[in-house]
Amino acid sequence: MSALFSPFTLRGVTLPNRIVVSPMCQYSAVRGEATAWHMIHLGHLALSGAGMLCLEATSVEPDGRITPGDLGLWDDATEAALKPVIDAIRKYSHIAVTMQISHAGRKASSAAPWEGGQLIAVSEGGWMPSAPSAIPHKEGETPPLALDAAGLIRIREAFVATAKRAARLGVDALEVHAAHGYLLHQFLSPLANQRTDEYGGSLENRMRFPLEVFDAVRAAFPADKPVGLRVSASDWVEGGWDLEQTIVFVKELQKHKVDWIDVSSGGVSPLQKIPLSPGYQLPFAKAIKEATGVNTMGVGLITDPQHAEEIIESGEADLVALARALLYNPRWPWHAAAQLGATVEAPPQYWRSQPREQKALFGDISFGQR
C-alpha cells in the first residue's frame, strides 16, 4: 500500500491521503470578499483528489491584508461572500477544507506580486502597517506602527472572531500563519522584534504573543476540529530566527495542543539567502518531528510523486503540501495515485476519464450507458 495514499487522522478529521493543497494567495478578493475567481480556483482544486485543501492566507482584519486583494474573514460581508464557495465545495467534494488565518504585520499594504509587490503609500491608497517594532521590512520604506497593548488585544480578538466565523462556515480545520515574515513570525524573529517589554528580547518573550494568539484560536474553534500552525524554521539570515529556536517554540505549542506544524522558512528579511532545491525545507520538518514527535507537514518544491512517497515512507514528514505543482497540474494526485498503484476520489462526472490501463484509479466503480 502506498504511504502517500494512506489515511491520516487529526482529531475528528480523517484524511484519505497525505496530500495537502497548500494555501496560495490569489490577490483576487474585493474588500476582503471572495469573488468568482475563488469559486473557480478552489472549486477545481477541491476535485484534485488531495486529502486536504487549505484556503489562502485569510486576513483577520482589513489592516492585516498583504495586498488590497487579499481574502478576509472579519465581518458579515466577507463571511457571506465565502459561504457559497465553501457550500459548492461541500456539494461536490469530500475534501477536508482548512483555512489559514493570518495578519501581515509590517508586510501589509503591498501591491500584488504582478504589480511589483512594493509597499503602497497611504497617499496612493495604502494604509499604515503595524508590527512588533517600528522597523521597516525593506530599507527605505516607511516604518510600520509599533503595536501597543491595545493593538495586541485588538489583533488577538480579531483572530478569535475569524476562528468563530470559520467554524460557522463549517471549515474542518484552521492553520495559524506564523511564517513568511508576517506578523506572528515578526514577533518570533529578533530581526523584526526589538521590543523591550514582555513581548520582546528573550526567546520566551518573543514567543509570548504567537502563543497567546494560538491559545485564543484553539479555544474559539470546536474542540473536535484540529488547529495547526505554519512556521518559518529559519530566516536564512545570520542572527535571525533559526531551527533551534523553532524546536523550542514547537515544544511549547505541543503543550498548547497544536495538531500539526506546517514547516516552511524565510520571508522576514530581503537579505535572506535560500539554497533552493526539491524538498529543500524537509530537513527542518524532519528535525522538528524527531525532536518533538509533533505531526509535521513538509513543503518546498515537491513535484515528483515518488519523492512524495519517500517523504512519507521515511518519516521525514506526516503530510506533503504542494502549491505550484498543483497550479500547473491540478490532477497531480490522480497521476500520483496511478504511478503508485493507489486509488483516489473523483466525481462521477469524471469517471470515464481514467485510462484503460488504470481502471482501478477511481476505485471499484461501474456505470451503465444506454
- pLDDT at residue 276, rounded to an integer: 87
Do residues 233 and 246 lie in contact, with contact meaning Cβ atoms separated by under 8 Å?
Answer: yes
The CATH number for 89's domain is 3.20.20.70
Predicted confidence at residue 354, as pLDDT, reads 85
The pTM (predicted TM-score) of the whole model is: 0.96
In angstroms, rounded to a whole number, what is the distance separating the alpha carbons of residues 237 and 191? 9
Instruction: State the DSSP code for 147.
Output: P
369 is a domain residue: no
27 catalytic? Reply is no
Q: Is residue 66 part of a domain?
A: yes
Q: Is residue 364 part of a domain?
A: no
* Structural domain harbouring 351: 8-358
pLDDT tens digits, one per residue of 275-333: 889 889 999 999 999 999 999 999 999 999 999 999 999 999 999 999 999 999 999 99
- Cell of residue 250, nine digits: 514547537
Residue 349 domain-assigned (yes or no): yes
Please state the domain count of the chain.
Answer: 1
Domain contains 366? no
In SS3 terms, 320-364 reads as: EEECHHHHHCCCHHHHHHHHHCCCCCCCHHHHHHCCHHHCCCCCC
Nearest to 66 by CA among 110, 31, 34: 110
CA distance 65 to 127: 10
Query: Does some domain include residue 370?
Result: no
The predicted-structure confidence for 92-106, as pLDDT tens digits, reads as follows 999 999 999 999 999
* pLDDT in the model for residue 357: 83
- Tell whether 352 is covered by a domain: yes
Q: Is residue 365 included in any domain, yes or no?
A: no
Question: What are the DSSP calls for 251-287, one per residue?
Answer: HHHHHTT---EEEE---S-TT------TTTTHHHHHH
- Of the residues 27, 182, 199, 328, which is catalytic? 182
Cα 98 to Cα 20: distance, rounded to the nearest angstrom = 10
Q: What is the pLDDT of residue 48?
A: 97
The answer to which of 88-92, 138-142, 204-208, 365-369 has the lowest mean pLDDT is: 365-369
